[in-house]
Structure 1
Amino acid sequence: MRADNSQHIVDAARRRSEYTRAKAVQALRTLDAAGEPVTFETVANQAGVSRSWLYAQPDLRAEVERLRAAHHRGPVSPVPARQRTSDASLLRRLEAANTRVRQLTEENRRLRDQLAGALGEQRAERITKEQAKGRQ
């Protein structure tokens, strides 16, 4: 009776599947980082896999569709996904800008008050000097 070598075949198929998936993920990253259009065709060509295989992988398919949509609505020179500003980051920047605007508004108010006080004192001194000259 022959030995059961099916485990070797299963292991080889699993390794081939992992390698193919890794090539597809790398192709996605490379295309996105280069600012190239991400489509099923470009990813398939870059990774050396078939488009039908990409369509059959739900996670890869979703990522291709997400990057493709981002590229279509993005600027002329799209920024790679990992370099794009997140919503949370934009909110933090907006909060920081609003805080700075409040600080500057308060500083302007204080400076106006100081200027008004200084100009008032200057005017009072001038009037006092004029009145003193008039008495002489």
Structure 2
Amino acid sequence: MPPETSAAPLVTAARKRHELTRSKAIQALRELDRTGAPVSFEGVARRAGVSRSWLYSQPDIRAEIERLRDAIGRSPSPPIPAAQRSSDASLHARLEAALERNRQLTEDNQRLRRQLAHALGEQRASTTRS
């Protein structure tokens, strides 16, 4: 057998093992983030059953761990799972809705003050006539 064909099953097995390891690491990362647990290289490695050095060698997984770790590290409150975090667009929409509601309440308040002043004026006029 030529050397390149005898290595093919080994290459295939190594590729499958690599993909399985990646999927376990990504799943562990998602699970930590979903539950709101602290995200760290140690935590992901322990949950996925991989080494920390392997995690550091995977650029995309490393970047995601660092992003989640930094996002949670900046927050003074307990970590919020990714699915529950508000996007900038969502926060902007909520702010706009709150400002509109505030404007409506201000207009209602002014209208009610005018009605109250008018009613008190009529009440005073009727008591002075009597």
TM-score by length of structure 1 reads 0.82
Whole-Å Cα distance in 2 between the matches of residues 19 and 99 of structure 1?
51
Whole-Å Cα distance in 2 between the matches of residues 123 and 105 of structure 1?
27
Name the structure 1 match of 2:51. 50
Whole-Å Cα distance in 2 between the matches of residues 43 and 98 of structure 1?
42
Structure 2: 5+ residue stretches without partners: none
What is the one-letter code of the residue matched to 1:31?
A: L
Whole-Å Cα distance in 2 between the matches of residues 74 and 87 of structure 1?
16
Structure 1: 5+ residue stretches without partners: 130-136
Q: Percent identical across equivalent pairs?
A: 63
Pairs within 5 Å for 1:37-116: 37-116=38-117
Whole-Å Cα distance in 2 between the matches of residues 120 and 91 of structure 1?
44
Contact 2:38/2:79 (8 A) holds in 1: no
Whole-Å Cα distance in 1 between the matches of residues 80 and 37 of structure 2?
10
Whole-Å Cα distance in 2 between the matches of residues 32 and 75 of structure 1?
17
SS in 1 for 2:5: coil
Q: List, as ranges, runs of 4+ consecutive aligned residues in structure 1 with deviation greater than 4 Å.
A: none
Bigger-Rg structure (1/2): 1
Report the Cα offset of residue 44 of structure 1.
1.2
Aligned length: 129
SS in 2 for 1:4: helix
